[in-house]
Structure 1
Amino acid sequence: MKDKIKIFLDTDLLEKYLLGSTTDLETLQVERYIAMYPEVRKTYNELQENLEEFAKSYSLKSPEGLKDRILSTIKAQNSTKRKFMNYAIAASFVAMLFAGASYFFYSQNLNLQEENSVVTNQIKLLEEDMKERLEDVRNQFIVLNNPQTKKYTVMGNKKAKDLKAVAYVNPVKKLSYINVQNLPDLEDGQCFQMWAEVNGKMINLGIIKEAGDKNNLLAMPYAENAVGYITIENVGENEAPTVDNIVANIAY
């Protein structure tokens, strides 16, 4: 019986159930195990608490000023409609004024369409960004809570002996993350940069700006026998890693 429970807990069905991505059959199985086995129920409650903490720590705010821009566009639209009505009344008495009002409305309408297009595009970009962020949070949640995830401690060499990081690799879900916990000070104009060598190709993962807490994870591309590097680079001169300035290796 214990083996049966262990096999179930080694899957990611509990995580998928919490995130609402299980099939109907998987949902029935998860709910049956939660109801029947206290060990499963305890693990489920712990994962639920962890997910709530993740949701709080990654709550997103809408871009500053977006609400005001949307309200301003709506007001402009209503204002345009009122102006058109006023010009239409005057046009019934003066044909020339009617022509001027028509042209004015046409120009205003074009401007309004452009403004609406800008706002619509901004909302779409925001939605896409939120979707990507939520997907990243979901992957981090799985990596940190799945028993099949492997954990590697990464220490810096003599050039950065105070550097410390932890890499998380899940070969089943093919997900890799690194949490940089401590960074030594650098000279002005220098920075730490993250790289990954995947299938013989070097990928730039960006500058490590600062060390973070345990939930601040940087995604790494997953591949068998991949290698990650942290180097010291000059700011603005980091198109390729400087081999002599490698301060940490991460084999995963």
Structure 2
Amino acid sequence: MKEKIRLFLETDLLESYLLGNTTTEETLQVERYIAMYPEVRETYNELQSNLEAYAKMHAIKAPEGLKARILQKIKAQDAGRRKFRRFAIAASISAVMFAASAYFFYNQNLNLHQENAIVNTKIQNLEADMKQQLEDVRNQFIVLNNPQTRKVSIKGNKKAKDLKALAYINPVKKLSYINVQNLPQLPENQCYQMWAEVNGEMLNLGVIESADDKEKLRALPYAEDAVSYITIEPQGGNLTPTVQNIVANISY
């Protein structure tokens, strides 16, 4: 064991350790020897004392005013850091304001695009409605003025004796319309509803308001052997016709 300690002390590891020149592995070895062996610890303490004494003997007095200059430089650096922080805060605020402005204008632009799309859709729907209305007016004119149009007088059954309507059917143009001229008064919880059976399918043509204009023509879907019905239904209309409440029918 003593030989091991002697060999260790003959190396310069303790001096290198004191000067901070050892590797990680050498540092661990030195610290282990200092902790384990009193001889090494004693030598280490002696070397440390000698190093401190040498440093004091050869210490150089600091120049006059050095401390003041160092403190002044530290203050200047602190001031610079504070200025930088203020600049950074201002820059951050500007960045936030810019981001907020960009987001605001982005939203505005997005809203404008959405509003524009809504307006365009409304215009397209309006154009489609107008086109449909013009087409309907044109068809009514053809039906009313075409000599091949057949007029069918319609009267209600015993459930609506005063019901009167006139159907216009044109098999050449395949157009048909009905003009409801009179509807008997119904209780408030009931209404008249029109249906058409076309190719085996029952179509809901909607509720007939008793206040309809007597000159108004209502389009009927045309098909050979089609049949239209008028029924009495609960107020607001029904999804399927109530067969026992049929008050009139129109055969094409």
- Shorter chain as normaliser: what TM range? 0.5 to 0.7
In 2 relative to 1, CA 214–148 (structure 1 residues): closer, same or farther, beyond 3 Å?
A: farther
Q: How far 1:224 sits from its partner (Å)?
A: 1.1
SS class of match (2:192): strand
Query: Are 2:117 and 1:117 aligned?
Result: yes
Structure 1: distance between partners of 2:237 and 2:97: 62
Query: Are 2:160 and 1:141 aligned?
Result: no
- TM alignment of 1:125-164, pairs within 5 A: 125-164=125-164
Structure 1: distance between partners of 2:191 and 2:213: 19
| Equivalent residue number for residue 70 of structure 1 | none
> Aligned partner of 2:156: which letter?
G
Q: Is the 8 A contact 1:155 1:164 kept in 2?
A: yes
Structure 1: distance between partners of 2:213 and 2:108: 51
> Aligned partner of 1:157: which letter?
N
Structure 2: distance between partners of 1:211 and 1:160: 16
SS class of match (2:162): coil
RMSD: 1.9
> Aligned partner of 2:136: which letter?
D
Q: How far 1:117 sits from its partner (Å)?
A: 1.2
Query: Are 2:185 and 1:179 aligned?
Result: no
Q: TM-score, normalised by structure 2?
A: 0.60
Query: Are 2:223 and 1:242 aligned?
Result: no
Give per-residue Cα distances to partners, 1:104-157, cap 9 Å, x unaligned: 211211111111111111111111111111111111110001111000000011
SS class of match (1:117): helix
> Aligned partner of 2:159: which letter?
K
Structure 2: distance between partners of 1:244 and 1:190: 14
> Aligned partner of 1:238: which letter?
N
> Aligned partner of 2:197: which letter?
E
| Equivalent residue number for residue 203 of structure 1 | 203
In 2 relative to 1, CA 212–147 (structure 1 residues): closer, same or farther, beyond 3 Å?
A: farther
Structure 2: distance between partners of 1:162 and 1:193: 16
Q: How far 1:244 sits from its partner (Å)?
A: 1.0
Q: Is the 8 A contact 2:207 2:236 kept in 1?
A: no
Q: How far 1:214 sits from its partner (Å)?
A: 5.2
Structure 2: distance between partners of 1:102 and 1:197: 60
Q: TM-score, normalised by structure 1?
A: 0.60
SS class of match (1:222): coil
The structure number with the bigger radius of gyration is 2
**Segment of structure 1 superposing worse, 240-249 or 176-185:** 240-249
Q: How far 1:97 sits from its partner (Å)?
A: 4.3
Instruction: Please list every run of 5 or more consecutive structure 1 residues that lacks an aligned counterpart in the other structure.
Output: 1-93
Give per-residue Cα distances to partners, 1:200-246, cap 9 Å, x unaligned: 22111111013544541111111112111111111246111111111
Structure 1: distance between partners of 2:100 and 2:224: 70
| Equivalent residue number for residue 106 of structure 2 | 106
In 2 relative to 1, CA 211–172 (structure 1 residues): closer, same or farther, beyond 3 Å?
A: farther
Q: Is the 8 A contact 1:154 1:164 kept in 2?
A: yes
SS class of match (2:152): strand
> Aligned partner of 1:169: which letter?
I
In 2 relative to 1, CA 100–201 (structure 1 residues): closer, same or farther, beyond 3 Å?
A: closer
> Aligned partner of 1:222: which letter?
Y
In 2 relative to 1, CA 187–107 (structure 1 residues): closer, same or farther, beyond 3 Å?
A: same
Q: How far 1:96 sits from its partner (Å)?
A: 5.7
Structure 1: distance between partners of 2:101 and 2:200: 66
